[in-house]
Amino acid sequence: MRTLCLGLHRKFKNGVFEENKARLVARGNHQHPGVDSGESFLPVMRLESLRTLLALAAIRDLDVVQFDITSAYLHGTLKEELYMEQPEGYRVVEKPDWVWKLKKGFYGLVKAGRAWNEELHSHMVGVGLAATHKDPPVYVKGNWDQEEFVAGEFWVDGFVGIGSGKVLEVLAKGVDGKYGITGFGNVKWILGMLVERDRTARTISISQEAFIGSLLTRFNLSDAAPVSTPILSGVQLSTLDCPDSEEEKLEMKTRPYRELVGAPAWLALGTRPDITFAAASRARFGHNPGRTHWEAAKRILRWVVGRRSLLSSLTLTGLVIVTITDQLELTLSRSKMVWLAGNRRNNCVSLCRLQKPNIGRSAKRRRSRCGWQIS
């Protein structure tokens, strides 16, 4: 396979420029499934798991640390027999037709992610941690009542762990000795989310204020006035609002509607579950949006201004709501499942929304509560 040398810009997690860096990568368009690679799936932690661990750490007053593994993809061992051409600057002049046999993965290789995950899983199991069934990137060792309890999760090469500080330090030293790590210390930034902790009050807050600010700048909404709701009351969007004239269609083609709807999706997954419905409902019109859809999508960003924090604690309560809603085009049944931490309205650790054609109109609204506690 062929390779390519890329010049990358490295940045701190808060967006401040750090240094320039070059990296040799494989060309993905020269790789074929079943020939150059088999399975390529790489599991990463669910954000629900991250919020739950932070909530547990807050109420239990556990240590929370993080670190990044250096050049993670280069540590995975390849099972397939792969060869690459000699890269520029490392070619043997006397043997120009020779190729290199790959033993380890590297960036751009389709198989590299899965190879690294298998290597990481083997190491974590070897040091006594067990992967959870529901979320495999989450590893646990010991029980809550044990002093050496530890739980952690990976997002490719980034690790966040809670538990005993001594055990976490030993775990980090083991990973550092085998792979190399950077940034070990108390958690501060996770996937672009700022983490702030008050151990006295036993609270942890996460926010995406920097990301929200970049979105407002990107879509020229920095000076926009905030609104009280993400959806305008009494307004029902439908395909009737899609443009019919060629003039309006050409106008909407110049507007980044899909980007405007897609960007808040990361907010909804991370710290703003309150905009999940608004973002999902506007995404339905991405094929042919109109001016009404455009204004409705901008309203989402105007709603999040000034509402950027999420506090977490331990006790988890589930709320299931089923609603039947008549829209202009179809009648839908929507099911929502919300898991709150600490019985606080803004402490949502998990949110699920399902939508399907209505199968029964006997009940306008049904609610059922279920709760569970960890002790």
Element (H, E) at 63: strand 63-69
Is the separation of the CB atoms in 276 and 314 below 8 Å?
A: no
Element (H, E) at 209: helix 209-218
Residues facing 367 on adjacent strands:
321
3-class secondary structure, 290? coil
What is the reported pLDDT for 6?
Answer: 63
Q: What is the mean pLDDT of each run of 10 residues along the chain (375 residues)?
A: 63 59 72 65 86 85 92 87 80 84 83 88 92 90 81 91 91 93 90 86 83 87 84 82 86 89 85 83 86 89 70 40 44 56 56 54 42 34
What is the reported pLDDT for 310?
Answer: 43
Which residue has 């803004």 as its token pair?
A: 346
What is the reported pLDDT for 64?
Answer: 93
Which residue has 């008050």 as its token pair?
A: 198
Q: Phi and psi dihedrals of 76, rounded to 5? A: -70, 135
CA 8 to the chain's CA centroid: 22
Which residue has 């061992």 as its token pair?
A: 77
What is the reported pLDDT for 181?
Answer: 92
- Radius of gyration of the chain measured on its C-alpha atoms: 24
Q: Which of 368, 206, 348, 165 is nearest to 273 (CA)?
A: 348
What is the reported pLDDT for 120?
Answer: 93
Is the separation of the CB atoms in 321 and 365 below 8 Å?
A: yes
Residue type, 110: V
pTM of the prediction?
A: 0.75
Residues facing 24 on adjacent strands:
5
Q: Which of 224, 221, 162 is nearest to 190 (CA)?
A: 162
Element (H, E) at 102: strand 99-104
Q: Which of 372, 316, 373, 325 is nearest to 353 (CA)?
A: 325
The domain spans of the chain are: 3-206, 209-307, 315-372
Q: Which two tokens stand for residue 352?
A: 């699920």
DSSP 301-353: HHHHTT--EEEE-S-EEEEEEEEEEE-SS-EEEEEEEEEEETT-TT-EEEEEE
What is the reported pLDDT for 54?
Answer: 87
For 55, other C-beta atoms within 10 Å of its C-beta total: 27
Element (H, E) at 116: helix 112-126
Residue type, 70: T
CA 118 to the chain's CA centroid: 21
Q: Which of 41, 40, 44 is nearest to 153 (CA)?
A: 44
Is the separation of the CB atoms in 61 and 360 below 8 Å?
A: no
